[in-house]
């Protein structure tokens, strides 16, 4: 997939603006796979039109190089190459070739095939490396790689017993898990310069200003500047204007992990707000906190339109109640007058992890011919997607139609809460449906509010059984994709954008998704030491743009949250299957039509100019003759 | 406002007589249509319970339709309106032929009855439920209406929706009236129709030439239906078979159906359909002779491969059962109730499985023709059902001509109407033999939709077109869907003419209009809904000037991995398979993730896989992807009446809208260009009214109109151009889900159960 594209800005030859640089092209891609060429042409229709201005030779050249050869990224270095490795492809059977491991990727190629077979993936997507079985009679050892992106890879290679040379898979093991091996993640090596610094995409003050904040009811506080109110929250918070900073600390004492209720979004007209927090520390004895009650009252009072406050607890009621045993719980309606508590029945990270595991079983490598739908149903994946979307829809509807402020929380307020607040904001505010707005949304609701990416993804961590891993962010992106399906013209970004985000969620090429909180990111100095994913994306945004996009000002999107409309995202989950060709992209056709229109417009203008010119020379009475009257012209 | 645009001013095709006293805008009668009875002060329900939004009006039963005429102009939201006008049917009208079941209810007395033809009704109904074949469920309440006229209307509806004889179908009245009126047979503006009807030998001739089938000829042995009752008068056979042979062969075939040519591949392979050989003694001999004739007609004398459809595809009853189950889950069961089991219910309906089976089988036939370069013989017992689906699908995949609007219509004409698909029986228009009913044509349209869904730019027409075409089956006016075969059509027309003592001119028969004369139903503007902007936009030839490139993906290695069949050394596979598995891995995962699941791949699948790995040429072969995950429910058709499933300001229409505006602009520019080229140095360049170039655009949404605002019209919903408002009223007042009565039953609500049911 990396063989083409006009990623001029990425390469070393950036100075020559429209010149494609082959190595740079390779450099940016991480969705390396045996299906990679396929994938690119699938999800990035735009590449086609972007490519049209390239000379044909260049294209040919680039594809020749990219087809069989490893293109290293800056500071990527080859660790070892083993020839005589067999990739046991679940679709094509055994393929013999050579395997190269670098500090960033695993690269397998077989040149006997025409065109060359290439498997190219960042080692970051590997979740575990397993030796399968004993050494065979032929002296071969099998290795299996379980990947985070819904595939498993299996290799076999000759291994000399007692040989001093280590198996190449030990190297894979080493570089796939830098954290466990006390190595630096590749993101800290990769220093590709981009024209734009993606770390600057999100400026909290600018975003709050866009929302009209501060205003008379809400103030921006620096109380958490040193992360001592809440270490998992961002430095900049928006709280009710009449709650002083000292009180915030007392509220923090009553909320799990100190995650106090703070504003995420405010309705530009009604002033109804979406606020987020963690569960109250009610415990079995039903503890109360005056400050917390006052805080929620202040949130309600900030919205003059309604004398009610809705508290959406993302959990099933049973789970919420069970949390009381651990000191947590939920707001009682006695303590919080005028508040109505609603449970949204979304399950916890463990249930979600299990659901994805089942889904992988159903979709990879092959899909069973019969019982596809009931197998899919038994994974409950879409059901979970539905509950999350339904929860977000209820929140959005309360805010928009009910003009009521809402408080959203789950247990810790960094998983389900992030899903719900960000999806509700996506429904409510068209800004977040733009390419940049979406980046702001992810930076704000996920990264700055401390979704624990490191823990949920397990970057570079060998411990694949870690109970903290969960596909929470994947679910969010899946929900976004579901919305783009229902509203094909409401989002500025396309499917390729969403897939790219997911691929780099695991690749560890960019610093964006590293660490668990804003505080940690600053400690690690990520903005200085790593490149942001948004730097890459924004420097070739055409690839990620949906040409059908219309900016519907102030349109609130209400997706239909029903199994009748939810679909499995085949373009993501089943993309490795060679029997799947990505949907004929409408976008590509649209772009072709756009180009056609531009061409025609140019022609018409040209002709008009020509005609005008002729008219000027022509005798006056003819120039003034009525339109359409026959004039002697060339036959 | 609800007041409907009357059929347009320049109304020429369908003579409509408007009735004066009622609201002139919302009720009209078509030619030959008469009012049977009517009742006033009726409420049409828009939800399961009474609602202030319910519509008040008059319920009319004519010999053609159930009409609901609203007295008041309701100020409904635009999204509650249909976005097109049918010239034969108002928005609230239901053609009687589209009525599946009529149920009357008396709430107070706790009685319900399913009304058949000529039945008595012992109670006066307070409510009428009409279940329609197109999945609508309409409910009327009579709280304020006179009991006698109410009863009369209900009985009339029941009676007229179940005609005892084909001649009672409205199409006869309609056509007869049109014949008498001055516009006699002017109904067929033959010139404008780009659809070959295949009712004359010249259409077949042209088709032979178009496909380059040199060793095939049109035969006329069946003129006057002298040989086979169900074959058309003209069809195509191998040139090496003489008429005498054909006559002799015909005796041994079911229905005396001589094998009939469908289509020729450019490589010379032919697609032929054939009924079973009834005479066991003749079987082998006949088979051999037919095959050798077909082989002789192949330029390379390739073998003939046979495809036994009965053995590999579901039968009529199974398809009907699947359809009934699908209807059950889509519209009858309460929306929320089956949400949790939706996917498995959808699966157990088997509808998608059957859609997939037909597509898959067609791909296999395509492989024989294209990959193996062989002629193919489709074999089916009667050759009038499954073969229609398969042969049409094969041709759609192989021949881009059939993916144009005119081509598609010709295809239906050739493989369905002329080949003798028994539309009358399969539609069950006479409601006589439920065992014969089968939505085979809808299944075919669904298959086409799946292809269209995967390759939207390859088809000239839209899914709205497919939906409207399917709905037209329930308007018993069109010859297309009224008869079982061409002979049937000819005979019925002749008989009717005689009984009405219509003197027939040189045409010999009354000519029923065929559905392809869309002017009977839609204005030119509404017909623009049929045109796909992607197809239209692209068909505009672009001036190549070095700057505009062709956009076909030229990358050779569309997918590097998919070339060719996997050729693995056998020893290696065996060795790998015997490796002992490590239990740590195999513990939780039932299928061992490391063990490539053996998916036996047929040559056709490999062919398909290889094709999928290459860039698509939309003007060439088109194969569907057939992983079960790639088939989708045709939501527009099956869910358009379900209010809960309607996405407001969403759905694929949003993309359609955007694309249409762009395609329209392109067309306009193209016209301007042509004008300039035509050498009209107009100082006001854009428009010269009256020139042929100014023909109305082919797009429904036009650029430069209010539609082109940044905000998209509010009425765009996923149900566009239909509206679910008032068209799906599930009655749940009984407290018992209707589904309880329905398991396995052919009719929606079975008689006995309901008669005994008390409230």
| Residue A527 contacts residue A511 (beta carbons within 8 Å) | yes
Determine the Cα–Cα distance for residues B699 and B663; give it in Å rounded to an integer: 7
Which of A120, A489, A623 is best to mutate for the B interface (most B CBs within 10 A)? A489
| Distances in whole angstroms, Cα of residue A116 to Cα of each of A84, A577, B182 | 16, 18, 72
SS3 assignment for B731-757: CCCCCCCCHHHHCCCCCCCCHHHHHHC
Determine the Cα–Cα distance for residues B558 and A35; give it in Å rounded to an integer: 9
| Residue B374 contacts residue B481 (beta carbons within 8 Å) | no
DSSP 8-state secondary structure symbol assigned to residue A146: E
CA-based nearest residue to A358, from A385, A380, A379: A379
Q: Residues of A with CB below 8 A from B716's CB?
A: none
In this prediction, residue B247 carries a pLDDT of 95
The model's pLDDT over A367-407, given as tens digits with 9 standing for 90+, comes to 988 899 999 999 999 999 999 999 999 999 999 999 999 99
The answer to whether A376 contacts B343, with C-beta atoms less than 8 Å apart, is yes
Write the residue in B589, B628, B676 that is nearest to A369 by C-beta.
B628
Q: Between residues B18 and B295, which one has the greater pLDDT?
A: B295
Residues in chain B: 759
The answer to whether B685 contacts A132, with C-beta atoms less than 8 Å apart, is no
Beta-bridge partners for A329: none
Other Cβ atoms less than 10 A from the Cβ of B182: the count is 7
Query: What is the arithmetic mean of pLDDT over A281-294?
Result: 95
Kindly report the pTM of this predicted structure: 0.87
Query: What is the arithmetic mean of pLDDT over A570-589?
Result: 79
Q: Residues of B with CB below 8 A from A373's CB?
A: 343-344, 346-347, 352, 628
Query: What is the arithmetic mean of pLDDT over B355-364?
Result: 97
In this prediction, residue B187 carries a pLDDT of 46
The answer to whether A137 contacts B575, with C-beta atoms less than 8 Å apart, is yes
Q: Residues of A with CB below 8 A from B644's CB?
A: 560, 562
Query: What is the arithmetic mean of pLDDT over B310-331?
Result: 95
The answer to whether A376 contacts B663, with C-beta atoms less than 8 Å apart, is no
The answer to whether A152 contacts B594, with C-beta atoms less than 8 Å apart, is yes
In this prediction, residue A78 carries a pLDDT of 95
State yes or no: pLDDT of B475 exceeds 90. yes
Query: What is the arithmetic mean of pLDDT over A187-205?
Result: 95
Q: Between residues B475 and B2, which one has the greater pLDDT?
A: B475
CA-based nearest residue to A603, from B538, B548, B681: B548
Confidence label for B309 from pLDDT (cuts 50, 70 and 90): very high
B619 interfacial to chain A (CB closer than 8 Å): no
In this prediction, residue B674 carries a pLDDT of 83
Q: How far is A39 from chain B (nearest CA, A)?
A: 8
Give the residue numbers of A marked as catalytic: 410
The model's pLDDT over B539-597, given as tens digits with 9 standing for 90+, comes to 654 333 333 333 333 333 233 222 222 322 332 322 222 233 333 333 333 445 565 55
Determine the Cα–Cα distance for residues B331 and B346; give it in Å rounded to an integer: 12
Determine the Cα–Cα distance for residues B595 and B611; give it in Å rounded to an integer: 26
Tokens of B733: 């007042």
What was the ipTM of the complex prediction? 0.86
Confidence label for B164 from pLDDT (cuts 50, 70 and 90): confident
**For the stretch B666-678, what's the b/e string if a residue is b when 16 or more beta carbons lie within 10 angstroms of its beta carbon?**
bbbbbbbbebbee
| Residue A108 contacts residue A118 (beta carbons within 8 Å) | yes
| Residue B423 contacts residue B480 (beta carbons within 8 Å) | yes
Determine the Cα–Cα distance for residues A121 and A620; give it in Å rounded to an integer: 71
Determine the Cα–Cα distance for residues A612 and B682; give it in Å rounded to an integer: 9
The answer to whether A627 contacts B684, with C-beta atoms less than 8 Å apart, is yes
Q: Residues of A with CB below 8 A from B569's CB?
A: 94
Which residues have CB under 8 Å from A182's CB, separation 6+? none
Other Cβ atoms less than 10 A from the Cβ of B73: the count is 12
Radius of gyration of chain B (CA): 28
| Residue B15 contacts residue B178 (beta carbons within 8 Å) | yes
Q: How far is A296 from chain B (nearest CA, A)?
A: 34
Determine the Cα–Cα distance for residues B722 and B529; give it in Å rounded to an integer: 12
Write the residue in B557, B665, B683 that is nearest to A67 by C-beta.
B557
Report which secondary-structure segment, H or E, holds A617.
Answer: helix A586-617
| Distances in whole angstroms, Cα of residue A162 to Cα of each of A83, A166, A170, B321 | 19, 10, 15, 66
Query: What is the arithmetic mean of pLDDT over B60-88?
Result: 77
CA-based nearest residue to A90, from B579, B586, B592: B592
Q: How far is B668 from chain A (nearest CA, A)?
A: 10
The answer to whether A137 contacts B680, with C-beta atoms less than 8 Å apart, is no
DSSP 8-state secondary structure symbol assigned to residue A462: S
**For the stretch B586-608, what's the b/e string if a residue is b when 16 or more beta carbons lie within 10 angstroms of its beta carbon?**
eeeeeeebbbbeeeeeeebbebb
Determine the Cα–Cα distance for residues A302 and A217; give it in Å rounded to an integer: 5
Residues in chain A: 635
Those of residues 518-557 in B touching chain A at CB distance below 8 A are 533-534, 537-538, 540, 542-543, 545, 547-549, 551, 553, 555-557
Tokens of B600: 């036996």
The model's pLDDT over B210-267, given as tens digits with 9 standing for 90+, comes to 999 999 999 999 999 999 999 999 999 999 999 999 999 999 999 999 999 999 999 9
Determine the Cα–Cα distance for residues B13 and B19; give it in Å rounded to an integer: 19
Q: Average pLDDT of chain B?
A: 80
Report which secondary-structure segment, H or E, holds B273.
Answer: strand B270-275
State yes or no: pLDDT of B733 exceeds 80. no
Q: Burial level of A114, CB count in 10 A (0-12/13-18/19+)?
A: exposed
| Residue A129 contacts residue A176 (beta carbons within 8 Å) | yes
Q: Please state which of the ranges A137-151, A207-221, A223-237 shows the lowest mean pLDDT.
A: A137-151
Q: Which of 1.10.8.350, 3.40.250.10, 3.40.50.740, 2.30.29.30 is the CATH number of B35-173? A: 2.30.29.30
CA-based nearest residue to A482, from A497, A495, A492: A495
The answer to whether A116 contacts B628, with C-beta atoms less than 8 Å apart, is no
Which residues have CB under 8 Å from B327's CB, separation 6+? B135, B748
The percent of residues above 70 in pLDDT, for chain B, comes to: 76
The dihedral formed by the CA atoms of A369, A375, A379 and A381, expressed in degrees to the nearest 10: 70
In this prediction, residue B26 carries a pLDDT of 63
Other Cβ atoms less than 10 A from the Cβ of A626: the count is 9
State yes or no: pLDDT of A462 exceeds 90. yes
Q: Please state which of the ranges B62-66, B489-493, B526-530 shows the lowest mean pLDDT.
A: B489-493
| Residue A496 contacts residue A173 (beta carbons within 8 Å) | no
Distance of CA A307 to the CA centre of its chain: 37
Q: Average pLDDT of chain A?
A: 85
The answer to whether A37 contacts B558, with C-beta atoms less than 8 Å apart, is yes
Those of residues 644-663 in B touching chain A at CB distance below 8 A are 644-652, 654-655, 657-659, 662-663
The model's pLDDT over B671-719, given as tens digits with 9 standing for 90+, comes to 888 887 775 544 444 443 443 444 557 888 888 755 445 556 777 889 9
Residue identified by tokens 């408007």 is: B18
CA-based nearest residue to A218, from A277, A268, A262: A262
The model's pLDDT over A11-48, given as tens digits with 9 standing for 90+, comes to 333 333 333 332 332 333 333 333 333 333 333 333 33
CA-based nearest residue to B681, from A632, A602, A599: A632
CA-based nearest residue to A429, from A554, A318, A537, A534: A554
In this prediction, residue A25 carries a pLDDT of 29
In this prediction, residue A164 carries a pLDDT of 63
Q: Residues of B with CB below 8 A from A594's CB?
A: 662
Determine the Cα–Cα distance for residues B681 and A63; give it in Å rounded to an integer: 48
Query: What is the arithmetic mean of pLDDT over B735-750?
Result: 37
The answer to whether A589 contacts B534, with C-beta atoms less than 8 Å apart, is yes
Tokens of A537: 């994306």
The model's pLDDT over B395-438, given as tens digits with 9 standing for 90+, comes to 999 999 999 999 999 999 999 999 999 999 999 998 877 789 99
Helices marked H in A195-238 — which ranges? Answer: 204-210
B620 interfacial to chain A (CB closer than 8 Å): no
Beta-bridge partners for A118: A109
Residue identified by tokens 């008009």 is: A608
The model's pLDDT over A289-342, given as tens digits with 9 standing for 90+, comes to 999 999 999 999 999 989 999 999 999 999 999 999 999 999 998 999 899 999
| Residue A298 contacts residue A240 (beta carbons within 8 Å) | yes
Per-domain boundaries in chain B? 35-173, 201-530
| Distances in whole angstroms, Cα of residue B302 to Cα of each of A312, B231, B369, B737 | 70, 27, 10, 59
Other Cβ atoms less than 10 A from the Cβ of B334: the count is 14
B583 interfacial to chain A (CB closer than 8 Å): no
Write the residue in B555, B581, B654 that is nearest to A63 by C-beta.
B555
Q: How far is A523 from chain B (nearest CA, A)?
A: 38
The percent of residues above 90 in pLDDT, for chain A, comes to: 70
DSSP 8-state secondary structure symbol assigned to residue B119: -
Those of residues 686-745 in B touching chain A at CB distance below 8 A are 688, 690-691, 710-712, 718
| Distances in whole angstroms, Cα of residue A14 to Cα of each of A7, A193, A281, B182, B354 | 9, 10, 55, 76, 54
**Nearest chain A alpha carbon to B623:** A581
Q: Between residues B535 and B471, which one has the greater pLDDT?
A: B471
The answer to whether B563 contacts A115, with C-beta atoms less than 8 Å apart, is yes
| Distances in whole angstroms, Cα of residue B420 to Cα of each of A243, A279, A280, B260, B416 | 81, 70, 73, 12, 6
Query: What is the arithmetic mean of pLDDT over A232-238?
Result: 98
Query: What is the arithmetic mean of pLDDT over B22-48?
Result: 81
Determine the Cα–Cα distance for residues B390 and B313; give it in Å rounded to an integer: 10
| Distances in whole angstroms, Cα of residue A100 to Cα of each of A3, A103, A161, A179 | 19, 10, 21, 21
The model's pLDDT over B29-41, given as tens digits with 9 standing for 90+, comes to 888 899 999 999 9
| Residue A265 contacts residue A211 (beta carbons within 8 Å) | yes
Determine the Cα–Cα distance for residues A305 and A109; give it in Å rounded to an integer: 64
Q: Residues of B with CB below 8 A from A484's CB?
A: none
The answer to whether A89 contacts B561, with C-beta atoms less than 8 Å apart, is yes
Q: How far is A49 from chain B (nearest CA, A)?
A: 7
Q: Between residues A360 and A134, which one has the greater pLDDT?
A: A360
| Residue B575 contacts residue A138 (beta carbons within 8 Å) | yes
């Amino acid at each position: 997939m990396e063989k083409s594209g006009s990623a001029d800005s990425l390469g070393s030859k950036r100075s020559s603006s429209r010149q494609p640089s082959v190595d740079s092209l390779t450099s940016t891609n991480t969705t390396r796979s045996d299906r990679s060429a396929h994938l690119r042409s699938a999800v990035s229709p735009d590449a086609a039109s972007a490519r049209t201005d390239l000379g044909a030779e260049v294209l040919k050249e680039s594809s020749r190089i990219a087809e069989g050869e490893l293109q290293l990224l800056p500071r990527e270095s080859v660790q070892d190459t083993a020839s005589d490795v067999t990739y046991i492809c679940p679709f094509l059977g055994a393929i013999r070739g050579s395997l190269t491991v670098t500090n960033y990727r695993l690269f397998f190629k077989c040149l006997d095939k025409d065109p060359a077979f290439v498997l190219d993936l960042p080692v970051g997507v590997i979740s575990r490396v397993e030796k399968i079985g004993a050494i065979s009679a032929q002296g071969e050892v099998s290795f299996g790689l379980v990947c985070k992106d819904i595939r498993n890879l299996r290799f076999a290679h000759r291994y000399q017993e007692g040989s001093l040379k280590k198996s190449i898979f030990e190297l894979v093991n080493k570089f796939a898990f830098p954290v466990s091996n006390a190595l630096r993640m590749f993101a800290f090596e990769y220093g590709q310069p981009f024209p734009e610094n993606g770390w600057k995409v999100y400026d909290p003050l600018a975003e709050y200003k866009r929302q009209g904040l501060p205003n008379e009811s809400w103030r921006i506080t620096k109380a958490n500047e040193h992360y001592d109110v809440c270490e998992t929250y961002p430095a900049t918070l928006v709280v009710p204007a009449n709650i002083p900073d000292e009180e915030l600390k007392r509220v923090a004492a009553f909320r799990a992990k100190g995650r106090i209720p703070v504003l995420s979004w405010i309705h530009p007209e009604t002033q109804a707000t979406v606020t987020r927090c963690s569960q109250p520390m009610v415990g079995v004895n039903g503890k109360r906190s005056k400050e917390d009650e006052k805080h929620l009252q202040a949130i309600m009072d900030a919205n003059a339109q309604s004398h009610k406050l809705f508290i959406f607890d993302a959990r099933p009621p049973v789970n919420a109640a069970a949390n009381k045993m651990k000191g947590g719980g939920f707001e009682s309606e006695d303590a919080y007058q005028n508040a109505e508590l609603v449970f949204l029945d979304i399950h916890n990270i463990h249930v979600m992890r299990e659901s994805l595991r089942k889904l992988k079983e159903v979709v990879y490598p092959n899909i069973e011919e019969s019982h596809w739908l009931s197998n899919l149903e038994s994974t409950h994946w879409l059901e979970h997607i539905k509950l999350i979307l339904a929860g977000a829809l209820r929140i959005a509807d309360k805010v928009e139609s009910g003009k009521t402020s809402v408080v959203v929380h789950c247990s810790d307020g960094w998983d389900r809460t992030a899903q719900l607040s960000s999806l509700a904001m996506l429904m409510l505010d068209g800004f977040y449906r733009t390419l940049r707005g979406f980046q702001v949304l992810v930076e704000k609701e996920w990264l700055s509010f401390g979704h624990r990416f490191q823990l949920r993804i397990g970057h570079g961590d060998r411990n694949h059984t870690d109970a903290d891993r969960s596909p929470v962010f994947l679910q969010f992106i899946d929900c976004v994709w579901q919305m783009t399906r229902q509203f094909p013209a409401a989002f500025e970004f396309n499917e390729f954008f969403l897939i790219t985000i997911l691929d780099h969620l695991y690749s560890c090429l960019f610093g964006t998704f590293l660490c668990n909180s804003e505080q940690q990111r600053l400690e690690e100095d990520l903005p200085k030491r790593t490149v942001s994913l948004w730097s890459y994306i924004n420097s070739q945004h055409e690839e990620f743009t949906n040409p059908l996009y219309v900016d519907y000002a102030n349109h609130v999107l209400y997706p239909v949250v029903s199994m009748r409309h939810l679909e499995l995202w085949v373009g993501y989950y089943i993309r490795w299957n060679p029997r799947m060709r990505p949907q004929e992209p409408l976008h590509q056709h649209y772009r072709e039509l756009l180009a056609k229109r531009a061409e025609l417009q140019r022609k018409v203008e040209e002709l008009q100019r020509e005609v005008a010119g002729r008219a000027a020379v022509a005798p006056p009475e003819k120039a003034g003759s009525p339109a359409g009257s026959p004039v002697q012209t060339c036959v | 406002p609800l007041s409907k645009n009357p059929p347009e001013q320049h109304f020429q095709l369908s003579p409509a007589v408007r009735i004066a006293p009622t609201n002139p805008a919302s009720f009209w009668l078509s030619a030959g249509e008469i009012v049977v009875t009517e009742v006033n002060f009726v409420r049409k329900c828009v939800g399961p319970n009474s609602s202030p939004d319910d519509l008040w009006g008059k319920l009319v039963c004519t010999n053609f339709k159930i009409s609901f005429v609203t007295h008041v102009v309701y100020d409904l939201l635009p999204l509650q309106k249909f976005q097109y006008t049918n010239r034969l049917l108002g928005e609230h009208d239901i053609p009687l032929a589209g009525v599946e079941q009529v149920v009357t209810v008396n709430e107070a007395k706790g009685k319900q009855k399913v009304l058949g033809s000529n039945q008595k009704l012992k109670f006066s109904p307070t409510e009428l439920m009409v279940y329609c074949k197109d999945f609508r469920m309409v409910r009327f309440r009579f709280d304020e209406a006179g009991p006698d006229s109410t009863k009369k209307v209900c009985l009339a509806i029941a009676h007229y929706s179940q005609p005892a004889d084909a001649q009672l179908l409205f199409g006869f009245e309609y056509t007869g009236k049109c014949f008498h009126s001055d516009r006699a047979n002017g109904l067929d503006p033959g010139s404008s129709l780009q659809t070959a009807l295949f009712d004359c030998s010249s259409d077949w001739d042209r088709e032979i030439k178009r496909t380059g089938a040199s060793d095939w000829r049109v035969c006329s042995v069946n003129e006057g239906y002298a040989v086979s009752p169900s074959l058309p008068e003209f069809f195509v056979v191998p040139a090496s078979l003489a008429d005498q042979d054909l006559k002799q062969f015909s005796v041994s075939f079911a229905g005396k159906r001589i094998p009939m040519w469908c289509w020729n591949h450019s490589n010379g392979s032919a697609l032929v359909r054939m009924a079973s050989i009834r005479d066991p003694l003749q079987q082998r001999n006949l088979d051999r002779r037919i095959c050798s004739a077909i082989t002789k007609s192949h330029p390379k004398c390739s073998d003939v491969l046979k495809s036994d459809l009965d053995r590999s595809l579901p039968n009529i009853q199974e398809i009907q059962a699947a359809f009934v189950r699908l209807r059950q889950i889509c519209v009858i069961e309460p929306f929320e109730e089956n949400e949790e089991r939706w996917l498995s219910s959808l699966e157990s309906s088997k509808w998608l499985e059957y859609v997939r089976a037909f597509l898959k089988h067609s791909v296999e036939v395509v492989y024989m023709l294209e990959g193996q370069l062989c002629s193919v013989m489709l074999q089916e017992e009667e050759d009038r059902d499954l073969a229609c689906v398969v042969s049409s699908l094969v041709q759609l995949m192989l021949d881009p001509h059939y993916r144009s609007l005119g081509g598609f219509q010709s295809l239906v004409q050739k493989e369905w109407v002329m080949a003798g698909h028994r539309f009358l029986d399969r539609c069950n228009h006479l409601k006589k033999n439920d065992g014969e009913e089968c939505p085979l044509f809808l299944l075919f349209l669904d298959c086409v939709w799946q292809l269209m869904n995967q390759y939207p730019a390859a088809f000239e027409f839209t899914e709205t077109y497919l939906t409207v075409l399917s709905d037209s089956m329930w308007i018993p006016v069109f010859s297309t869907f009224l008869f079982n075969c061409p002979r049937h059509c000819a005979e019925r027309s002749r008989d009717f003419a005689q009984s009405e003592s219509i003197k027939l001119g040189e045409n010999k028969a009354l000519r029923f209009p065929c559905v392809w004369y869309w002017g009977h139903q839609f204005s030119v503007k509404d017909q623009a809904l049929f045109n796909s902007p992607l197809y239209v936009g692209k068909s505009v030839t672009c001036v190549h000037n070095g700057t505009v490139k062709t956009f076909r993906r030229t990358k050779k290695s569309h997918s590097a991995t998919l070339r060719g069949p996997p050729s693995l050394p056998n020893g290696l596979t065996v060795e790998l398979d015997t490796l002992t598995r490590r239990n740590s891995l195999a513990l939780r995962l039932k299928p061992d993730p490391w063990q490539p699941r053996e998916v036996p791949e047929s040559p056709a699948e490999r062919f398909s896989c290889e094709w999928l790995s290459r860039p698509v040429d939309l003007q060439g072969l088109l194969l569907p992807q057939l992983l079960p995950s790639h088939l989708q429910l045709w939501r527009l058709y099956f869910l358009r009446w379900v209010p809960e499933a309607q996405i407001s300001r969403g759905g694929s229409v949003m993309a359609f809208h955007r694309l249409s505006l762009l395609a329209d602009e392109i067309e306009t520019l193209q016209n301007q260009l042509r004008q300039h080229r035509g050498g009209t140095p107009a100082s006001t360049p854009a428009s010269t009214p009256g020139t042929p170039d100014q023909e109305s655009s082919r797009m429904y949404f036009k650029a430069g109109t209010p539609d082109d605002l940044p905000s998209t019209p509010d009425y765009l919903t996923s149900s566009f151009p239909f509206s679910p408002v008032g068209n799906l009223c599930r009655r749940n007042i009984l407290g018992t889900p209707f589904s309880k009565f329905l398991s396995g039953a052919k009719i929606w609500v079975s008689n006995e159960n309901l008669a005994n049911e008390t409230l």
